[in-house]
């Protein structure tokens, strides 16, 4: 009997909290039934979304669709797609999967509120086996029918690895730029190796990467060409050596061979296509001189002579391609052009053609790239390009985007001529904003077989024998149809040269004609020497975590490798050598990681890309600082993604990845030190129990009425996330709609500086996660400049977290745009900041829609807090586990180490309770916690019930409002100790409660000296009004230094000192922040109020006394401020203090006096020291006789006193009169003297 599972909860982006979502009705081995529910708030909610379905076989099953409740909508939906369609089929981590795209829209004007999908699976034998860590961490969260699909996992059998067939020997490499026959002289080889003895040229071999000069990245990352396994690294190509028969390589000997460069024509299914290499400009080849001279290299073979055939031709089909990549108009993606064409302007491109056959027609294709002089919102400027030759129209192109556009054309016979041919392109667009780029021109024509220099041609006919007549002498003809194994064709020489071939059926035959005198010489050989090709391409390596960086970063990364268990550093240079034959083909990274996961003794699951990236693989701009390449996707709606470096069979990642965008070794060292310091010394403070949700306001930059819903969605979607966060986490909400506007006089006008200050205060005080939803760009949050990074303002410099490093999650456009050459993104600069600012950043590299963003964030937060708990997965595994292969998921990048844990506490206590569970104001409650921890400390926060608030705002000239749940006030915040497993801290309820019918909440965090910790919450606390209080006195307010020195008016403190404001009262201190009862510090010099409610914390195990810290402005030489506080019975107090600031590096003796003066019986010497030091006092008569000496004593910084009873060193009372006293103060550097007068009157 097949198992069936009825799922009654919502998965992934839950319907309860989103405008478009799904519900699993039933899931079995036979059928999956899904219900789609849509309630759109914006056009984004009607866009298609994807689900990943686990399958028993590679075959995509049929889908039955039932639609109901079709409704109209007023949104602008330009395109619709079928209700449900398979868009991708991929094996992911040993499970066959299908990506199902679902569209709620019926047509541009209507949608279905309910869609029921029935997916019938093929029958197969199900047996749950082979489930390991990588399946649970990366696969389970993203497959919607995992409960059944996990039975269909088929672990990959480790490939049987054949021993490398590359002989040992001396390796020499050289570079090739174009498809051609190349020559290497014996003299160059001999001079490179430095000897000619015992070098048998018959053993010489030449190798190149298995892609034979080309890149594989484009096909595998853009076209998603299927490739079942990692290909062999190197292939040997045949060569011809003149003079090898004598067994000795002399200087006059030479070898030649056919080689492919990075770009050129390839034949695909009888179709000749140009391959433009977008990743490297030179192809690497390897010459091997084996140690074993008896080995024989591959040689070009000569084919059999073909008898006279029925046909003879002196022409053949040839191709000419012109393409110069000078500029990437979008500074993104893979669209590279030559030069732009303004409206009514023309360019003439001259093409050099060889001996076109005048009686034959020709054909061609030309390409353009859309571009705008001034960028428009939708990038839909109309473009209109015409192509002419000799004033004869060939073709026209019309399009309205910034992507590629190509058009084919025919050329009438007789129009092409030998030599230069001018092709004229004219921009005929009527839109002055049109400025497209010329991309390429490709011509196919019949040419006469006249030899002047080497050339290639294709046979124009098939299925016959044919004799080709070449107008030339002393030539060689190679059949390069199989380019990796060319064949020499016998030449029949009469007046001219002839060769005969048999043309097979349905194949294109390709020939290369050359003379040995015209072969291009290789002039530069680089001696490598002996080389190992299986350092990485081995089965003996073990690692769970890989760091990929350049060889120059290896030493700087060593500390992180040593810190992270079971880690492995792989240099990019080694990866290129072993997986792409030394060519800088980015796909080599994917090959390596695929190999490691499927062939190493232990399979790695995480990879850190240690290096920056940009879009300019070939450094065409001259400013590229590419360290570790990423994958650029597309030519329209482009983006960069690292996911396709770890997606081995398509677009769905199979490893967790992260990137640190390092540019220098110092940045690598700083990052490594930060991660190590953070993980080794992460403290047990309560900041890790806090999550901050930040939302853009709804007013700007939306303009149209239909965009209001988008503006409101930032707050609404943040509210949805808040409902996914368990009650044992504190949620700090910073919604911009809740802050006052300030007009700063700039064109954009409105800022909200108080919101920025509060955000920085939150960051600096500590929070585990910061999530932002709203508008932004690569260097800014919100049009109101909530955060910004530019030459005038750098908010990162205002961050001082003291290693309380948060994880930043920014669901906004471009904030993680890491591949821009001319600008560094905010996300990059955050993670680069040494020992500060961020532990990791998750953000998007390009723009993202509202719905795609919240759907992804919902999945992410669901995974972090799965089952109302805290994930035990690494941060990289959490992120990749919610990616399903869609382009929206590819936009989210992790900047940081994927093997790091999210900075959240680990263990959850769920059975704590409060006694009594109903507490009146001013009463004391007890929190009871059961835990395995025996001795330690803890903290707790009592928080009032949430309350719904409505905030008004102006949208244009119209007043609107938005509602959300505001967190309740903190009623008590204290710390405690415990021993012998008894954990029963107490707390007091103030008068200022909300009197809500909803429950209050108490969160706690406990930890022991061994670093073990746990958190929890009690959420069923009912607060009620209590009786009147007899307490009518306000709290006592005092001031002290961080070291505990009591401060009084006129005291001196060091610059940059932290002050403590200590407040005590028998009823406890009111920290609720209720209006009129705030804990306020007023700085008189700055004329600024500072609310201290959130900074106040009770002393350990105290209900009556606590403190708040304050850091005065360092730019003043004095401090003057007052503090107002209320006790829990709402009695106020206010105290003012004035202090003088002194330099940290200056030792001074101040305010020396004795009191009383004159004195009768006793007096007291008082003074102040600006630093710790020794103080000695001597008393003299006016004649200079020393009568009393006080021995040197140590005094701490601050106020000091020495008492004197008026007696001399012998104990006798001194006579009446005037005396002098000398105070001597000194530290290890400075000595200070002060002389004063005193009088004795009896």
User: For 307-324, what is each residue's pLDDT tens digit?
Assistant: 877 889 999 999 999 999
So what CATH class is 315-448? mainly beta
- For the chain, what's the residue count? 1242
Residue 14 has a pLDDT of 36
Measuring CA to CA, which residue among 928, 939, 900, 871 is closest to residue 687? 939
3-state helix, strand, coil in the chain (%, to 5): 15, 40, 45
- Please tell me the predicted confidence (pLDDT) of residue 41: 74
Which pLDDT band, with edges at 50, 70 and 90, does 504 fall under?
confident
State CA 72 to chain mean position distance: 39
Q: What is the pLDDT of residues 28-71, one digit of tens each?
A: 999 999 999 988 877 777 888 889 999 999 999 999 999 988 88
**Tokens describing residue 186:** 């014996």
Question: Tokens at residue 567, please?
Answer: 């880690």
Question: Which pLDDT does position 69 carry in this prediction?
Answer: 86
> For residue 459, which of 417, 500, 410, 514 has the smallest C-alpha distance?
500
- Please, which pLDDT band fits residue 1055 given cuts at 50, 70 and 90? confident
- For CATH 2.60.40.2550, the residue range(s) in the chain are 909-1024
Mutual angle of helices 665-681 and 554-563, in 10-degree steps: 10
Is 122 within 8 Å of 109 (Cβ atoms)?
A: no
Q: Where does the chain hold its CATH 2.60.40.10 domain(s)?
A: 1036-1142
- Residue 1082 phi/psi, 5-degree rounding, is -110, 115
Q: What percent of the chain clears pLDDT 70, i.e. is strictly above it?
A: 96
The pLDDT assigned to 495 comes to 66
Of 49-53, 293-297, 680-684, minimum mean pLDDT range: 680-684
Calculate mean pLDDT across residues 390-394. 95
CB distance 287 to 201 below 8 Å: no
Fold of the domain spanning 1036-1142 = Immunoglobulin-like (2.60.40)
- Using DSSP, state whether 730 is helix, strand or coil: strand
As a whole number, mean pLDDT of residues 231-256 equals 96
Whether 622 contacts 892, CB under 8 Å: no
Task: Indicate the CATH number of 683-902 among 3.40.50.1460, 3.40.50.11540, 3.90.550.10, 3.40.30.10.
Answer: 3.40.50.1460
Assigned CATH for 534-658:
3.40.50.10390
CATH 2.60.220 maps onto the chain at: 4-152
Confidence of residue 444 (pLDDT cuts 50, 70, 90): very high
Residue 1237: pLDDT above 60?
yes
The whole-angstrom separation of Cα 182 and Cα 178 is: 10
pLDDT for residue 999 is more than 70: yes
418 has pLDDT over 90 = yes
Residue 593, SS3?
helix
Residue with tokens 């829609």: 849
Average pLDDT over every residue of 1144-1160: 90
Do the beta carbons of residue 574 and residue 536 sit within 8 Å?
Answer: yes
Residue 100, pLDDT above cutoff 80:
yes
Domain 4-152: CATH architecture, name and number where available: Sandwich (2.60)
pLDDT mean over 482-509: 87
Give me the residue label for tokens 């006798």. Answer: 1212
List, for residues 774-812, the tens digit of each pLDDT value: 999 999 999 999 999 999 999 999 999 999 999 999 989
Q: Does 1038 score more than 80 pLDDT?
A: yes
Question: Residue 197: what pLDDT?
Answer: 64
Q: Which class does domain 909-1024 fall in?
A: mainly beta
Lowest mean pLDDT among 103-107, 297-301, 1038-1042: 103-107
When pLDDT is averaged across residues 1137-1150 and rounded to a whole number, the result is: 84
Helix, strand or coil, per DSSP, at residue 663: coil
Structure confidence at residue 79 as a pLDDT band (50, 70, 90): low
Q: Are 330 and 638 in contact (CB under 8 A)?
A: yes
Most confident of 76-90, 830-844, 1076-1090, 1193-1207: 830-844
What sign does the CA torsion over 440, 446, 448, 449 have? positive
Fold of the 1149-1240 domain: Immunoglobulin-like (2.60.40)
Q: Is the peptide bond before 1161 cis (omega within 30 degrees of 0)?
A: no
CB atoms within 10 A of CB 838: 23
Q: What is the pLDDT of residue 1011?
A: 87
Mean pLDDT over all residues of the chain? Answer: 93
* Res 13 pLDDT > 60: no
Give the separation between CA 588 and CA 580, rounded to whole angstroms: 6
Q: Give the model's pLDDT for residue 479.
A: 97
pLDDT at 291 over 50: yes
pLDDT of residue 957: 84
Pinpoint the residues of the chain covered by CATH 3.40.50.10390: 534-658
- Ranges in the chain annotated CATH 2.60.120.260: 315-448
Rounded to the nearest 10 degrees, the angle between the axes of helix 587-599 and helix 572-579 is: 80
CA distances from 837 to 535, 610, 668, 676, 823 (A): 38, 19, 16, 15, 19
**Pairwise CA distance, residues 489 & 493, whole Å:** 12
- Kindly tell me the sign of the dihedral angle through the C-alpha atoms of 536, 542, 547, 552: negative
More confident position, 235 or 1199: 235
Among 1143, 1147, 1165, 1168, smallest CA distance to 1227 is for: 1147
pLDDT category at 164 given cuts 50, 70, 90 is: low
pLDDT at 129 (0 to 100): 66
**pLDDT digits 0-9 by tens, 710-723:** 899 999 999 999 99
The pLDDT tens digits of the residues spanning 847-884 come to: 998 888 998 999 999 999 999 999 999 999 999 999 98
Start-end ranges of CATH 3.40.50.1460 in the chain? 683-902
In a 3-state reduction of DSSP, which class is residue 575?
Answer: helix
Entry pTM? 0.90
Closest of 548, 858, 620 to residue 717, by C-alpha: 858
**Average pLDDT value for residue range 722-733:** 97
pLDDT tier at 8 (50, 70, 90 boundaries)? very low
In angstroms, the CA 1172 to CA 1194 distance is 8
Q: Residue 223: pLDDT above 50?
A: yes
Please, which pLDDT band fits residue 270 given cuts at 50, 70 and 90? confident
740-748, Cβ contacts within 8 angstroms, sequence gap of 24 or more:
741/784, 748/700, 748/783
């Amino acid at each position: 009997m097949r198992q069936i599972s009825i799922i009654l909860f919502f998965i992934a982006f839950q319907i309860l909290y989103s405008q478009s979502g799904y519900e699993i009705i039933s899931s079995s081995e036979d059928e999956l039934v899904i219900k789609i529910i849509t309630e759109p708030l914006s056009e984004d909610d009607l866009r298609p979304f994807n689900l990943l379905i686990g399958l028993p076989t590679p075959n995509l099953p049929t889908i039955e669709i039932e639609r109901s409740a079709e409704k109209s909508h007023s949104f602008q939906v330009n395109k619709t797609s079928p209700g449900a369609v398979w868009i991708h089929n991929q094996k992911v981590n040993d499970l066959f999967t299908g990506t199902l795209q679902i569209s709620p829209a019926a047509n541009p004007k209507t949608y279905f509120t309910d869609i029921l999908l029935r997916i019938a699976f093929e029958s197969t034998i199900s047996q749950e086996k082979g489930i390991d860590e990588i399946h649970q961490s990366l696969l389970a969260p993203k497959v919607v029918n995992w409960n059944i699909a996990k039975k269909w996992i088929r672990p990959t059998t480790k490939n049987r690895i054949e021993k490398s067939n590359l002989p040992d020997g001396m390796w020499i490499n050289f570079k090739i730029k174009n498809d051609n026959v190349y020559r290497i002289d014996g003299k160059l080889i001999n001079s490179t190796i430095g000897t000619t003895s015992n070098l048998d040229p018959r053993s010489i071999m030449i190798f190149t990467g298995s892609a034979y000069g080309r890149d594989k990245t484009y096909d595998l990352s853009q076209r998603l060409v299927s490739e079942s396994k990692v290909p062999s690294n190197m292939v040997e190509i045949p060569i011809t050596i003149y003079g090898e028969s004598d067994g000795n390589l002399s200087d006059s000997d030479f070898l030649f061979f056919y080689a492919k460069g990075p770009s050129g024509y390839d034949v695909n299914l009888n179709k000749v296509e140009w391959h433009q290499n977008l990743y490297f400009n030179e192809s690497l080849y390897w010459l091997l001189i084996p140690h074993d001279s008896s080995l024989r290299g591959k040689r070009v073979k000569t084919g059999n002579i073909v008898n006279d055939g029925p046909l003879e031709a002196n022409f053949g089909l040839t191709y000419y391609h012109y393409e110069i990549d000078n500029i990437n108009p979008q500074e993104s993606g893979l669209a590279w052009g030559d030069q732009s064409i303004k409206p009514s302007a023309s360019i003439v491109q001259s093409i050099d053609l060889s001996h076109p056959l005048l009686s034959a027609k020709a054909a061609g294709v030309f390409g353009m790239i859309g571009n705008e002089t001034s960028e428009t919102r939708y990038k839909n400027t109309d473009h209109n390009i015409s192509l002419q030759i000799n004033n004869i129209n060939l073709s026209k192109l019309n399009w309205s985007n910034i992507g590629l556009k190509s058009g084919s054309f025919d050329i009438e016979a007789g129009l092409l001529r030998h030599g230069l041919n001018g092709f004229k392109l004219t921009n005929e667009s009527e839109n002055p904003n049109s400025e497209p780029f010329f991309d390429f021109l490709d011509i196919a024509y019949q040419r006469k077989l006249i030899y002047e220099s080497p050339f290639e041609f294709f046979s124009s006919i098939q299925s016959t024998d044919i004799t080709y007549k070449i107008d030339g002498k002393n030539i060689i003809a190679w059949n390069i149809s199989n380019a990796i194994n060319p064949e020499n064709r016998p030449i029949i020489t009469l007046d001219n040269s002839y060769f005969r071939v048999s043309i097979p059926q349905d194949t294109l035959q390709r020939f290369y004609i050359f003379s040995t005198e015209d072969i291009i010489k290789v002039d530069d050989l680089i001696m490598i020497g002996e080389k190992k090709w299986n350092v990485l391409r081995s089965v003996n390596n073990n690692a769970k975590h890989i760091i990929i960086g350049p060889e120059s970063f290896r030493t700087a990364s060593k500390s992180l490798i040593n810190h992270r268990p079971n880690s492995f550093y792989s240099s990019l240079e080694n990866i290129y050598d072993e997986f792409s034959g030394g060519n800088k083909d980015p796909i080599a990274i994917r090959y390596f990681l695929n190999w490691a996961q499927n062939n190493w003794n232990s399979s790695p699951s995480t990879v850190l890309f240690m290096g920056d990236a940009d879009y300019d693989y070939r450094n065409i701009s001259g400013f590229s600082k590419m360290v570790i390449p990423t994958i650029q996707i597309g030519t329209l709606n482009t983006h960069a993604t690292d996911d396709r470096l770890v997606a081995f069979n398509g677009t769905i990642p199979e490893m967790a990845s992260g990137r640190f965008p390092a540019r220098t070794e110092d940045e690598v060292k700083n990052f490594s030190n930060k991660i190590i310091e953070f993980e080794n010394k992460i403290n047990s403070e309560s900041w890790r129990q806090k999550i901050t949700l930040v939302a853009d306001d709804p007013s700007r930059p939306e303009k149209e009425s239909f965009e209001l819903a988008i503006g409101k969605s930032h707050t609404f979607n943040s509210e949805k996330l808040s409902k996914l966060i368990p009650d044992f986490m504190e949620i700090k909400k910073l919604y911009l709609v809740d802050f006052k506007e300030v007009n700063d006089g700039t064109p954009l006008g409105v800022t909200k500086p108080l919101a920025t200050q509060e955000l920085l205060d939150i960051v600096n005080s500590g929070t585990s996660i910061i999530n932002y939803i709203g508008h932004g760009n690569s260097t800014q949050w919100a049009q109101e400049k909530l955060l910004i990074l530019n030459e005038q303002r750098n908010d990162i410099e205002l961050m001082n977290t003291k290693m309380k490093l948060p994880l930043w999650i920014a669901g906004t456009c471009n904030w993680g745009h890491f591949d821009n050459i001319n600008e560094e993104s905010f996300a990059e600069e955050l993670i680069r900041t040494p020992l500060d600012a961020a532990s990791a950043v998750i953000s998007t590299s390009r723009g993202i829609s509202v719905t795609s963003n919240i759907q992804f964030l919902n999945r992410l937060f669901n995974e972090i807090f799965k089952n109302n708990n805290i994930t035990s997965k690494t941060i990289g595994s959490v992120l990749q586990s919610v990616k399903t292969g869609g382009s929206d998921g590819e936009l989210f990048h992790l900047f940081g180490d994927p093997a790091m844990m999210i900075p959240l506490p680990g263990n959850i206590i769920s059975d704590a309770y409060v006694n009594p569970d109903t507490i009146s104001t001013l009463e004391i409650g007890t929190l009871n916690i059961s835990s395995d921890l025996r001795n330690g400390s803890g903290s707790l926060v009592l928080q009032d019930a949430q309350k719904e608030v409505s905030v008004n705002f102006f949208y244009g000239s119209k007043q609107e409002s938005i509602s959300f749940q505001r967190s309740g006030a903190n009623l008590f915040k204290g710390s405690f100790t415990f021993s012998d497993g008894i954990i029963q801290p107490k707390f007091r309820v103030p008068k200022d409660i909300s009197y809500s019918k909803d429950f209050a909440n108490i969160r706690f965090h406990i930890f022991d000296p061994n670093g073990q910790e746990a958190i929890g919450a009690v959420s069923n606390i009912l607060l009620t009004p209590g009786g009147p209080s007899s307490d009518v006195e306000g709290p006592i307010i005092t001031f002290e230094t961080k070291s505990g020195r009591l401060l009084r008016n006129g005291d001196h403190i060091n610059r940059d000192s932290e002050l403590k404001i200590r407040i005590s009262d028998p009823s406890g201190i009111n920290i609720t922040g209720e209006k009129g009862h705030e804990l306020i510090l007023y700085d008189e010099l700055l004329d600024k109020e500072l609310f201290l409610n959130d900074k106040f914390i009770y002393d350990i195990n105290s209900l009556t006394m606590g403190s708040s810290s304050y850091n005065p402005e360092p730019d003043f030489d004095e401090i003057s401020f007052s503090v107002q506080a209320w006790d829990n019975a709402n009695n106020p107090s206010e105290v003012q203090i004035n202090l003088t600031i002194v330099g940290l590096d200056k030792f001074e003796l101040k305010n020396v006096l004795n009191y009383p003066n004159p004195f009768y019986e006793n007096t007291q010497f008082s003074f102040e020291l600006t630093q710790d030091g020794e103080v000695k006092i001597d008393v003299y008569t006016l004649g200079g006789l020393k009568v009393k000496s006080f021995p040197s004593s140590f005094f701490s910084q601050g106020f000091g006193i020495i008492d004197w009873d008026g007696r001399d060193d012998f104990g006798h009372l001194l006579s009446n009169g005037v005396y002098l006293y000398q105070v001597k103060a000194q530290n290890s550097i400075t000595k200070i003297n002060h002389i004063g007068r005193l009088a004795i009157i009896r």
